[in-house]
Amino acid sequence: MRIPRPTIHFKPTRLLFIFGALGLWAGCAPAIAQAPFPARPDTVMPGDLLGAFDGQVVDAQSGKPIAGAIVQASWAFETGRGLVAPAGGSVTTVATDNDGRYVIDRLSDLPSARARVAAVTVVVYERGYVAYRSDRVFDNAVGGARARTDFSQHQNKVKLDRWSGTYSHVKHVRFVGGSGPLKRALGSEVVEASLELAAGPKKPSAATAEPERPSAPPLDAGVLLSVDELRAVTGYSGELAVEKLADLPTTSSYDSRHFKAVGKPETYDAAVRAWKLAPDAADARFAKLLTEVPHAERRDEMGSGSLRGFDGRIVAVAALDHARGVVIEFTCGLDQCRDADQAAAILKRMLARAERLGQPAPPPSVEEEKPTETPTPEPAKTEPTPEPPKSEEPFDDNQFKLKPPELKR
Amino acid sequence: MKRALAVSVALAAVAVALPADAYHAATHAGLTERAALASTLHARLMQRFGRALGLYEPLALDGSNRDPGHRELLRRLAQLDREGGYTPDRGRLSALEWLVAGAALEGVPADRTRNHFYDPTRGSGLDEVDGEALRTRLQSAASGVGTVRGIFTGTTFDGSGMASPAWLRSADNAWGLSRFLDELERSAAAPTAAARDGALARALVAAGAIAHLVEDAGDPTFVRDDYRVALEADAGPYERFVVAEYGRVGVPELGGAPVKKAHLAALFHDGDGSGLADRTQSRFFTPGTLPDSGRYTRPQTAPGAALAGYAAGAVPHLLRYERTPSGIVWTLDERCFADYARALLPETARYAAGALELLFRGRLDVAAAGGTATVTAHDVALGRGKVSLYADVGKGARRLVQARELAGAADGQSILEATLPAGTHHVAAVFRGVDGAGEPLVVVQEETLK
């Protein structure tokens, strides 16, 4: 079927000149779409899709700056006319400084002249918080996202809300997307998303009516191993700070402890990760550990199943208690634990206390459960109560790596 | 002189014109994500494919860069927007991300989109050559849709294409139904775990590509054969509205169960008008098929009594009208597009979810006792095909234990009994053939022996 088209009369030579000039112009630089955001919060002047971008990331409740948050800008290119397709893109990832500030440089690797810069998305992520996108606001109740209107190219204020246990990991993982360091930072949240999806949709009341009230008390991995017990078994006499790992925020199904040797490399550190789940979900979590832990070998030396693995001078042991739905992973540097056997002995002690998970923590007592190895007389240290959502370190999918990944500043 | 002028016009048009699009890659990604999360695919991957994390199971492509197919897939993946999460990280993506990447990749390169049109009333694909073939080819080559060589060989886009249900099954489509079935079978039958992971990743890419084709049946432009006006001249105003308004993460939830159909083709067109293309074509307009275009008889609509306003139909703002001295002028504006998107996106995702349910349907139960394994068909009646049983023995490669041709089997019927080699710790059963309705399928069951 023929669609009527208008007829335009111009002198061909003049047309050639005009179009030739346009063609040359088109060959020099790619087209750039108009930015859907303003240059600054106090103006309606449109920003520049190519950047640069700058702003500050703060805790929405306390207003305090968040250092080390991941900020990722993704530019999307496209090509074609009539029929259009993606034509690559570019990504820049930075971390916020001590004042929570970030600067993302202007896009330098422009696409070819036949492609256009079609869009840019800025995502901010810090473990324990709800992620921020330049185009959408995370909304657990409304399908996961609604439009954002307060993003600006410069002087952008990013207020991160703390994560609530009632939020959906499935929606959040979908919301964040991203690539490279940002995606790796989400590593453990995808496990939560998988468990959540397998369990079926959350009840509407949890998502809408009372979004801030957690559905169950948070898990406390502190009942499994105290700093004194660790010292008693390994004989380590240096200072050990007790923190939470940067895997995930504490929830009713997950908690962690990081025994961090102050002023020492991570081969002096030890860490506990504990999950309390439905028995089938615990099986799945354990199976996942078998694929995640470097050089993992199934040993079945305790509980319903166990494994051992290693990465350089760090050993890992993990065990499953199917009936209780408990999975415990213990990683220990070889300057802290003597060897994998010692790490396994410590894990065995923790597994014997699996039933305590999910119950109020008893006061730490070295007397009640004497370690099998020679204790070192050291004054007991009180574990500081960690700030619930804050994490010091961006996550890497290598569970042994406790230092933040290098990010472009 | 005329040819030089034509080339200049085409180049200039590329330089100054707005782009146009089908549903944008981000929209397809959002629709497919929604469809997958609402389907039973997560449970199927966990229970039938032995993937503990289901849709979140990390999968790496196998193959080397010497393999042209492998290189080509990586090259196409590199074209996608990094924001969407479907750019492989250290060669890995989750099962969900491979699926979503497949949906986004179906439009890469842009030339593939010519085969995404489908007019259910005529049963044909895009057919808007109209003596404009040369101009369209020049423009396509200049804008990167085709090549200059293609202008002379006739392969560059000229305003025509294959109907999407035919493209889905075409031998020319490297990511169509055949590829999906081949890779799904290999995901259980390949000898090594790495090869099985890679095959499952590619099967998911192909499934995403098929979901993309179904989703395009939920775009009025693609079922009303409207390339020239809606896409070329007007630069896809509805599609641009949708991507600007919803992006990837804002695509709404399904708002209902996945659509159930016995055949993939019925998701596009069904005799009772319940295919997605049927429903979209008969209820919505496009810029080039307004009531005065004379191109389609449906939907029927009439202007109101006021001088200007909106005509209602499937949605409150179906069309804008204005009474002028020369007659009624019809247009589509953003209020119309907002209504269209609110109605079409959830429905489109329901059909895409229906496609995923159909692609991954069927169940085989494997019971092992006393060194013998028995395979039973479930959930779907099987037609002619072949059932095979594979075993993992010790740390060796997976090997075929037994296979037999099947004329058909009812739901619940035992279809294979085999003696397992000593030391078997894991078995995989695969059926490849057609179901009771004659639709091709592959059913996989992974089973670790206690």
Contacts of A180 (CB under 8 A, 6+ apart): A72, A91, A93, B82, B89
How far is A252 from A169, CA to CA, in rounded Å?
A: 14
The residues facing A24 across adjacent strands are none
Cα(B102)–Cα(B425) distance, rounded to whole angstroms? 33
List the domain boundaries for chain B: 1-126+161-300+334-360, 363-448
- Following CA atoms A348, A352, A354, A359 in sequence, which dihedral angle do they give, to the nearest 10 degrees? -140
Nearest residue of B to residue A190, measured between CA atoms:
B56
Which residue in the set B55, B87, B225 is minimally distant from A179, CB to CB?
B87
Question: What are the start-end ranges of the E strands in A208-365?
Answer: 240-243, 254-261, 270-276, 297-298, 305-311, 314-321, 326-333
Strands A70-79 and A314-321: unpaired
Closest CA to B377 of B348, B409, B332: B409
Tokens 């008889």 belong to which residue?
A: B297
Beginning with the edge strand found earlier in the chain, give each strand of the sheet holding B372-378 in spatial order. B363-369, B372-378, B414-419
Q: Are A183 and B12 in contact (CB < 8 Å)?
A: no
Rg of chain B on CA atoms, in Å: 24
What pLDDT score does A16 carry? 52
Select from B40, B41, B56, B57 the residue whose CB has the most chain A CBs within 10 Å, as the one to mutate to test that interface: B56
Residues of chain B found within 8 Å of residue A123, distances taken between Cβ atoms: 83
Are the C-beta atoms of residues B235 and B293 closer than 8 Å to each other? no
Is B110–A19 a contact, with Cβ atoms under 8 angstroms apart? no
**Among all residues of chain B, which has the CA nearest to that of A185?**
B89
Q: How far is A263 from chain B (nearest CA, A)?
A: 32
For domain A31-207, the question of CATH label 2.60.40.1120 is answered with: yes
How close is the nearest chain A Cα to the Cα of B407, in Å?
A: 35
Contact A102, A73 (CB under 8 A): no
Binary contact (A25, B4; C-beta < 8 A): no
CA distance A107 to A88: 13
Nearest Cβ partner for B145 among A83, A135, A198: A83
Which of B16, B43, B157 is nearest residue A198 as measured by Cβ atoms? B43
Residues of B in Cβ contact (< 8 Å) with A180? 82, 89
Within a 10 A sphere around the Cβ of B448, how many other Cβ atoms?
10
Q: Specify the amino acid at residue B193.
A: A
Task: Classify B448 in phi/psi space as left (phi over 0), alpha (psi -120 to 50) or beta.
Answer: beta
Give the DSSP H/E element, type plus range, for residue B13.
helix B2-16
- Verify whether the Cβ–Cβ distance B288 to A191 is below 8 Å: no
Determine the residue among B143, B240, B249, B395 to mutate to test chain A binding: the one whose Cβ has the most chain A Cβ atoms within 10 Å: B249
Q: What Cα–Cα distance (Å) separates residue B443 from each residue in A59, B380, B417, B440?
A: 49, 10, 17, 10
Of A25, A136, A283, which is closest to B249 when you measure between CB atoms? A136
| Residue among B11, B82, B145 whose CB faces A82 most closely | B145
Question: How is residue B174 written in tokens?
Answer: 């490297």
CB contact A287 to B (< 8 Å)? yes
Contact B144 A180 (CB under 8 A): no
Put simply, the answer to whether B11 touches A176 (Cβ < 8 Å) is no
Residue ranges of domains in chain A: 31-207, 221-356
Instruction: Give dist(CA B173, CA B175) in Å, integer.
Output: 5
Nearest to B20 among A26, A81, A176 (CB): A81
Q: Does A293 touch chain B (CB under 8 A)?
A: no
The number of C-alpha atoms within 13 Å of B39 and in the hemisphere containing its C-beta is 30
Closest CA to A290 of B99, B58, B187: B58
Tell me yes or no: is domain B1-126+161-300+334-360 CATH 1.10.575: yes
Q: How far is A390 from chain B (nearest CA, A)?
A: 24
Test mutation, A81, A135, A137, A179, chain B, max B CBs within 10 A: A81
Out of B5, B37, B110, the one facing A15 most closely (by C-beta) is B5
Q: Which of A85, A86, A198 sits opposite B42 (nearest CB)?
A: A198
Q: Which residues of B touch A91 (CB under 8 A)?
A: 82
Q: Between residues 163 and 202 of chain A, which touch chain B (CB distance below 8 Å)?
A: 170, 173-180, 183-184, 190-191, 193-194, 197-198
Of the partner residues B33, B109, B225, the one whose CB lies closest to the CB of residue A85: B109
Listed in order, strand segments (DSSP E) in B183-307 are none
How many whole angstroms separate alpha carbon A230 and alpha carbon A342?
A: 11
Contacts of A90 in chain B (CB under 8 A): 82
pLDDT for the residue numbered A78 = 85
Per-residue confidence (pLDDT) for residue A365, from 0 to 100 = 36
Q: Per the CB < 8 Å rule, is B110 touching A79?
A: yes
Chain B residues with CB-CB distance to A18 below 8 A: 12
* Residue A278 contacts B, CB cutoff 8 Å: no
Q: Are B159 and B132 in contact (CB under 8 A)?
A: yes
How far is Cα of residue A18 from the mean position of the Cα atoms in its chain?
A: 53
Judging contacts by C-beta atoms under 8 Å, the chain B residues touching residue A175 are 249
**What is the pLDDT, as a whole number, of residue A11?**
52
Q: Cα torsion for A247, A248, A254, A255, to the nearest 10°?
A: 70
Q: What is the CATH number of domain B363-448?
A: 2.60.40.730
DSSP bridge pairs for B404: B387
* A2, A8, A70, A83, best to mutate vs chain B, most B CBs in 10 Å: A83
Furthest-apart CA atoms within chain B: distance in Å: 89
CATH number listed for the domain at residues A221-356: 3.40.1000
Query: Helix or strand or coil: residue B408?
Result: coil
Q: Based on the number of CB atoms within 10 Å of its own CB, is B44 exposed (0-12), middle (13-18) or buried (19 or more)?
A: buried
Q: Looking at residue A325, what is its pLDDT?
A: 85
User: What is the distance between the alpha carbons of residues B423 and B199, in angstroms, rounded to a whole number?
Assistant: 26
Whether A145 and B250 lie within 8 Å, measured CB to CB: yes
Point out the residue among B81, B87, B295 whose CB comes nearest to the CB of A1: B295
**Closest approach of chain B CAs to the CA of A135, in angstroms?**
8
In chain A, which stretches have pLDDT less than 50?
1-10, 21-28, 203-215, 360-409
Mutate to test the interface with B, among A24, A32, A75, A84 (most CBs of B within 10 A): A84
3-state secondary structure of B83: helix
Per-residue pLDDT of chain B (450 residues; tens, 9 = 90+): 455 544 444 444 443 344 445 688 999 999 999 999 999 999 999 999 999 899 999 999 987 778 888 889 998 998 888 888 888 877 789 999 999 999 999 988 888 888 999 999 999 988 876 777 677 777 777 766 666 676 666 677 777 889 999 999 999 999 999 999 999 999 999 999 999 999 999 999 999 999 999 999 999 999 999 887 777 777 789 999 999 999 999 999 998 999 999 999 999 999 999 999 999 999 999 999 999 888 999 999 999 899 999 999 999 999 999 999 999 999 999 999 999 999 999 999 999 999 999 999 999 999 988 889 999 999 999 999 999 999 999 888 999 999 999 999 998 999 999 999 998 999 999 999 999 999 999 999 999 987
- How are the residues of chain B apportioned to helix, strand and coil, as percentages rounded to the nearest 5? 45, 20, 40
C-alpha count within 13 angstroms, C-beta hemisphere, residue B72: 8
Between strands A156-160 and A53-59, the pairing is parallel
Length, in residues, of chain A: 409
Nearest CB partner across the interface for A89, out of B82, B145, B157: B82
Whether omega before B110 lies within 30 degrees of 0, making that bond cis, reads no
Distance CA B193, CA B208 (A): 22
Q: Which residues of A touch B24 (CB under 8 A)?
A: 84
Residues of B in contact with A289 (CB under 8 A): none
| Residues whose CB is less than 8 angstroms from the CB of residue A130 and which lie 6 or more positions away in sequence, other chains included | A138, A160, A161, A162, A163, A167, A172
